[in-house]
Amino acid sequence: MWNIVIGIIFVIGGLSGKMALIGTNSGGLLALLGAGLIAWGIVQKVRTPR
């Protein structure tokens, strides 16, 4: 669950231009990393037995 929240923050921050990926100064790459975190969080939620 935490990775979905962090991913949303990364996507919003990267696309708004307020945040950038360290070492690259790229907001787009940060948004892409955030999208990956969101996808991984969804995969974890689907795989978790209830």
Per-residue confidence of the chain (50 residues) as pLDDT tens digits? 899 999 999 999 999 999 999 999 999 999 999 999 999 999 999 998 87
Residues in the chain: 50
- The per-residue pLDDT for 48 is 87
CB atoms under 10 Å from CB of 4, counted, come to 17
- The per-residue pLDDT for 15 is 96
- The per-residue pLDDT for 6 is 97
Return the half-sphere exposure (C-beta side, CA atoms, 13 A cut-off) of residue 35. Answer: 8
- The per-residue pLDDT for 49 is 85
